[in-house]
Amino acid sequence: MPNQHKKLGLKAFILLILLSIFSCSMADLEVGDMAPNFTLEDQTNSMQSLSDYKGKWVVLYFYPKDDTPGCTTQACEFRDATERIIASKAVVFGVSIDSIESHKEFAEKYQIPFSLLSDESGRVSKQYDSLNDLFVFKVSKRNTFIVDPQGKIARIYLSVKPQGHAEMVLNELGSLQQTYQ
């Protein structure tokens, strides 16, 4: 009988993990929805609120972990596109559940000129359907949202590939801005 309990316990645990994965990956936000407001601290200890950027285009990208290969590629591509993003009258924010100190080291190491927002609780990542929460292990998903000047979600990218993503977002931002006018 004890072996049956162990087997049932393991099956229940695996089922809970699978349910958690699938329930976390189901996107509730859609294009046209109001982007959930947030206030988070960045690597310079400044508070950033989405509502402060009403009237501007916002690129909000979620990423798993500072200073890992894919996240570094993605951050550096956005860094290299910063002048074009500013010229398009937009602002970019990177968001992960890493600490402010981790963001600070990452930003200094790679000269990241935009705000990296610390969402240690995972609350904002969860609001944006961008959190993998496996009980004791949490990590932000690699999703990106373009928010229009009225605060509505204009474009959603799920499970993006880091390489080439910034260019794709910039191209889409340009198209969205032309149709928005």
First to last CA, the chain: 69
**Across 110-124, average pLDDT:** 96
Give burial (CB, 10 Å; 0-12/13-18/19+) of 105: middle
**Across 81-109, average pLDDT:** 94
Non-local (6+) Cβ contacts of 68 within 8 A are none
Average pLDDT, the chain: 87
pLDDT for residue 22 is more than 90: no
pTM of the model: 0.83
Q: Are the beta carbons of 180 and 152 closer than 8 angstroms?
A: no
- Out of 71, 91, 92, 95, the active site residue is 71
Tell me, what's the pLDDT at 102? 97
Domains of the chain: 29-180 (3.40.30.10)
pLDDT tens across 33-72, in order? 999 999 999 999 999 999 999 999 999 999 999 999 999 9
Determine whether 71 is an active site residue.
Answer: yes
Tell me, what's the pLDDT at 9? 57
The secondary structure of residue 152, as a DSSP letter, is B
Cα within 13 Å of Cα(139), Cβ side: 12
